[in-house]
Amino acid sequence: MDLLDRLVDKGLRRARPTREEALAVLATSDDELLDVVAAAGRVRRHWFGRRVKLNYLVNLKSGRCPEDCFYCSQRLGSKAEVLKYTWLKPEEAAEAASAGVAGGAKRVCLVASGRGPTDRDVDRVSKTIEAVRERHPEVEVCACLGLLSEGQAGRLRAAGADAYNHNLNTSEATYGDICTTHGYEDRVATVREARSAGLSACSGLIAGMGESDEDLVDVVFALRDLDPDSVPVNFLMPFEGTPLAGTWELTPARALRVLAMTRFVCPDVEVRLAGGRETHLRSLQPLALHIVNSIFLGDYLTSEGQAGREDLAMIADAGFEVEGADSDTLPAHRDGLVTVRRRGAGTDLPPNA
């Protein structure tokens, strides 16, 4: 059995590929690229059919972060000319979320810059979650607020959040090369904290920051071990005014190989094509839909994406369909991990407590 047949076989059984197999995907030639995409596509269709889940970002608080993540335009001392503002009011955030929901988004991701929330911030975000829920009881709400302190994940869950995002970003070995103000273990702890509070965990990576193939494979296997329900794959946007400005390492083919490797290692998980897709995949974006089952709609936190209507046209042109609120994203064996709350805050029904 050759490499791709083995990976498809394992993907359909949720069996773990070897590290060598994952590395071999990254090392495939351009002549093999369409075979790699087709093989990853078989795994994708087995677990997710031709559905594409749309996610919509709302940046609740932008810029002026005290942390120094080298890839981030909102970092301490960043000279990137991104929007800088403090907390949106709950109604403003709900209004912003409505644009994404109107475009077909099934999940709203409420994001704030910063090391992590204070308890007052959690109160504020809880009100925002309730405001979004009031308008859109059918959508999933994910919070992304940085490192969580004890008890904060439970409070977000009680306020109606379905999920929490905190990315590992890169391998443990190279984490110190992209951030000095917090560590890899802090990130792992927050993902675990979110999961143990009953939130669906979302954790992913950024490719193109100078990492080796080994680093990419390490972070994707670390994610498999953490077992999040969704894995966003970002491609570095090297903002001017950040330490990684000028780091242009990716080609569209490389980006597809990274996505395919992630799909083979995390076969039944929502693999989400995230920041940098337009810039790095360029005209090959539709091929990525054969690998991932989820994308962000519209703009990112500090950069603009292609117009939402172009995303929708791309999905239709490539023969995929937008996933509706009435279908489950994850396969049945993962059921119960992403259950949209329909009781408690924001409803007439009592909470589950």
Would you list which residues are annotated within the binding site for [4Fe-4S] cluster?
65, 69, 72
User: Interface with ligand SF4 by CB under 6 A: which range of 4-12, 72-80, 200-208, 325-333?
Assistant: 72-80
**Residue number, 82 or 287, with CB nearest to ligand SF4:** 82
**Sequence ranges of the binding site for [2Fe-2S] cluster:** 109, 142, 202, 272
Work out which of 72, 108, 110, 191 binds ligand SF4, going by CB under 6 A.
72
Residue 270, H or E segment: strand 270-273
Stretch that binds ligand SF4, among 68-76, 156-164, 196-204, 241-249 (CB under 6 A): 68-76
Radius of gyration of the chain (CA): 19
Q: Of 43, 36, 33, 34, give the one whose Cα is nearest residue 21.
A: 36
Active-site positions read 65, 69, 72, 109, 142, 202, 272
Question: Is the CB of residue 291 less than 8 Å from the CB of residue 52?
Answer: no
User: CA-CA distance, 117 to 247, in Å (whole number)?
Assistant: 30
Q: What is the three-class DSSP state of 240? A: coil
Q: Which is nearer to ligand SF4, 69 or 291 (CB)?
A: 69
Least separation in angstroms between residue 136's CB and ligand SF4 is 25
Site for ligand SF4 in 106-145 (CB under 6 A): 113, 115
Residue ranges of the binding site: 65, 69, 72, 109, 142, 202, 272
**End-to-end Cα separation, the chain, in angstroms:** 52
Q: Tokens at residue 36, please?
A: 């790699």
Q: Where does this chain touch ligand SF4 (CB under 6 A) — which range of 65-73, 134-142, 201-209, 283-291?
A: 65-73
Answer for which of 36, 37, 60, 69 binds ligand SF4 (CB under 6 A) is 69
Nearer to ligand SF4, 179 or 258 (CB): 179
44, 75, 136, 187: which one contacts ligand SF4 (CB under 6 A)?
Answer: 75
* Of residues 198, 253, 252, 207, the one with CA closest to residue 232: 207
Token digits of residue 158 = 């009680």
Nearest approach, Cβ of residue 111 and ligand SF4 (Å): 8
Question: Greatest CA separation found in the chain?
Answer: 58
**Rounded CA gap, 35 and 128, in Å?**
45
Interaction of residue 67 with ligand SF4, rule CB under 6 A: yes
Candidate residues 17, 117, 146, 228; the one interacting with ligand SF4 per rule CB under 6 A: 146
Number of residues that bind ligand SF4 (CB under 6 A): 9
DSSP state of 282: G
277: Cα within 13 Å, side-chain hemisphere: 26
For residue 208, which of 257, 147, 173, 148 has the smallest C-alpha distance?
257
Binding site for ligand SF4 (CB under 6 A): 65, 67, 69, 72, 74-75, 113, 115, 146
